[in-house]
Amino acid sequence: MNETGRIRIGNQTAFSASTVTGPFVYAVDNGFDAFEWFPDKKDSGAGWEEDDLDAEIRRYINQAALEHDIRLSVHAPWDANPLRLGAPEVLVKNIAFAQDIGASLLNIHLYADEGIASYVQAIAPLVKHLAQVRIKLAIENTPLTGPETFNELFRKLRKACPADTAYMGMCLDIGHANLCEATRNDYLKFIDLLDFSVPIIHVHLHENYGDSDSHLPLFTGPAGKDATGIEGVIKRLQKRNFSGSIIFEQWPEPPSLLNEARNRLFEIIGEPARQVKSARRAPGEVLPQADDFASAILEANRRCRSWRQKLGWIHDLLVEDGFRLNAEHLAYLAIYLHFIGTGEVTYSENGGHHRPSHHAKMGRRMHDRLSKMTTPDNIFVIRKIYAWLPSFGSAFTRAEPLTRIRDIAHRNDVPKELKREIKNTLQNKLHRCAGPEDLVTSAALLERITARAVHYSVGFVEEFRQFHEELKEFFNARSLEEQLEVIADKDNTQGIGLIRRFLEAKRKADTPKEQLATFEHLTRLRGHLAEEIKGNTGSEAQQFLLADIRLEDFSFVLMSQLINYFESLGDGMPWSPALYALSLTVENLRLSGFGAEECHAVEFELKLWRQKSEPQDIQQLIRLKATIDRCQQLAEDYCDKILDLFPEKVERLGRALGVAEHAIKVYSEADIRSHLAFQLSKLVSLLLKTIRTRAAVPK
């Protein structure tokens, strides 16, 4: 194991984790370089103990730690008090486990209730034994043990074990130091009162408010508002030449909070290796295979704290000529952007200062690059990426975008406290490190100032509404109706008419007949937008494309309603509307970029069938079946392509990123399948079933 002098950061097992090894696998996948095993089985059965991990699992842990340069430690359970009967047996199991997995440190608590001399006498044999097997002993402060107690402990230990001083030291628990009576809410004082001769070799880092041992993840407690205390801890550790492991003793939901804490802590440490940009490859170098590429995303997510940085890493992959992105790489990027955009992957400020124009210009370059690399085989993936890029309209690429919020923060008709809140949480934040979280902040403020029980200036409220709409535009978070209303102002007379007719039909789409009419208006509008996208460049093309993507999504909803209606009719399904719905579905697939030539051919055949009277005799039904079989093949081709590219990757990347299981399930099982190709498959199945029944033909 590489034992260089750098400070390492890691996490710990947890009784709340779904599996014993889950947090360790997360550490490996997310690039943590330390990990602590804490056998803490509860009376309820939650948690784990050494006997739960057999020889094969122990070998896996050892090998994974070696391969990924992860320093391992073992935390003895609370009942491993050397002064109590039964403790030696517990510690023997701890040491055997530590040796099996290759851990270099065993952590125990200090129990001073019988005096320090008794404790030293009890652990002296343990220190000697651990030194023989080259494992260090770290003794942890509890809320009941103060700095003076540790000063006395190590004075006595140096006398009792003079030959083994290199294998013993203190585990500084910051949360416990904050609860210690002598240093409550002042953990820096705890460190300052420790003799410099007390060797700090291990650190447990968690937060509380001085009231209970709540083990809050770092930067989610007091340090979330003021990190000077944590900065002081690091400064003091560095002054002591600390090169041990800092362990986060949590398994939060989502686990990506650990990544955010680690990344921010590395910035405080000042580690130069944590660069925002990905490593450059030689021109023409092929990117890693899919599984390795997922690991590359995890590493980038670990290093890149803010939304801008995460977006910037993807920007570099797309824009740099040396990278060759295939459909699998693009699928991973689409999934990653989805989890970022929905807030499942967290982000935070990185200490930099970049106005939103920086994000907008990146969005433009990414959009341009994606449009150039689009093929019939990858277009359905690329459309999923487009939806998560920031707007690059001229209002956002200028030097100082989104200035309306600055004017709002200086209005005289806004209460002082509210102005201060707007300035700190929106104005300054947006102009420093914009991210989708700002849209959430803005929405919450808008809800507050428009609530019935409050009465703010009409002018102020209206200005804030307009700002919120601008913010939705920047993050491309408009609804279908909002997107269409905006492009109606930029479109020609024909386009405006198509938009108005569709929106009117959409508002009245309550019956199957009206739903089919709405589907027709939607399809005609998409055909118009396809021409507008070809004839426009820059931000207008982006707005037309986003409207088209929103329409594609809504077509799935319309088809779902129509299919439910057709299913309810059983064998009495009317041919004309069913075949028209089928034809419109195929046309929409073509408008989305799916196999234009095959779609055109199928559309032509379906048009001919609709012009004829409803098929009655067996020969007509058999010929119609041939056309519908062709539709079925079209549906199967694209459904298979989508399923081959997405669900497994969603689960793998989502779990590695610490995304909540329900969010992974929704995206994998619902969002991915909410594509028109799946509705085509359902409608085809209904039609084929009807044909078999009426013509008595086999499957």
Q: What residue ranges do the domains of the chain occupy?
A: 8-269, 290-474, 573-695
The two tokens of residue 198 are: 């007390």
Task: Please check whether residue 198 is in contact with residue 171, taking contact to mean a CB–CB distance below 8 angstroms.
Answer: no
CA distance 65 to 132: 22
Q: Positive or negative CA dihedral for 407, 408, 413, 416?
A: negative
Name, in order, each residue with C-beta under 8 angstroms of 235's C-beta and a sequence gap of 6 or more: none
CA distance 148 to 137: 20
Task: Please check whether residue 205 is in contact with residue 159, taking contact to mean a CB–CB distance below 8 angstroms.
Answer: no
CA distance 381 to 374: 9
Q: What's the confidence (pLDDT) of residue 612?
A: 73
pLDDT digits (tens, 9 = 90+) for 374-383: 988 899 899 9
For the chain, what is the radius of gyration of the CA atoms?
31
CA distance 663 to 253: 12
Task: Please check whether residue 688 is in contact with residue 628, taking contact to mean a CB–CB distance below 8 angstroms.
Answer: yes
* CA-wise closest residue to 563 among 654, 447, 685: 685
Q: pTM for the whole thing? A: 0.60
CA distance 175 to 331: 42
Name, in order, each residue with C-beta under 8 angstroms of 501's C-beta and a sequence gap of 6 or more: 521
Q: What's the confidence (pLDDT) of residue 291?
A: 52
Q: What's the confidence (pLDDT) of residue 274?
A: 36
Looking at the domain that runs over 8-269, which CATH code has it been given? Answer: 3.20.20.150
Q: Phi/psi at 671 (nearest 5 deg)? A: -60, -45
Task: Please check whether residue 680 is in contact with residue 635, taking contact to mean a CB–CB distance below 8 angstroms.
Answer: yes
Beta bridge partners of 109: 140
* CA-wise closest residue to 199 among 171, 220, 223, 222: 171
Residues of the chain with pLDDT under 70: 1-5, 42-46, 272-292, 320-323, 351, 491, 613-616, 697-699
368 to 169, 322, 361, 376: CA distances (angstroms): 57, 16, 11, 17
The angle, 0 to 180 degrees and rounded to 10, between the axes of the packed helices 116-132 and 87-101 is 30
CA distance 173 to 205: 6
Name, in order, each residue with C-beta under 8 angstroms of 313's C-beta and a sequence gap of 6 or more: 276, 277, 278, 300, 304
The angle, 0 to 180 degrees and rounded to 10, between the axes of the packed helices 618-645 and 327-341 is 70
Cα-to-chain-centroid distance, residue 5: 32
CB atoms within 10 A of CB 529: 25
Q: What's the confidence (pLDDT) of residue 520?
A: 98
pLDDT digits (tens, 9 = 90+) for 193-219: 999 999 999 999 999 999 999 899 999
Tokens 């070799």, residue located? 201
The angle, 0 to 180 degrees and rounded to 10, between the axes of the packed helices 356-373 and 538-569 is 60
Q: Positive or negative CA dihedral for 454, 459, 464, 466?
A: positive
Cis-peptide into 255, omega within 30 deg: no
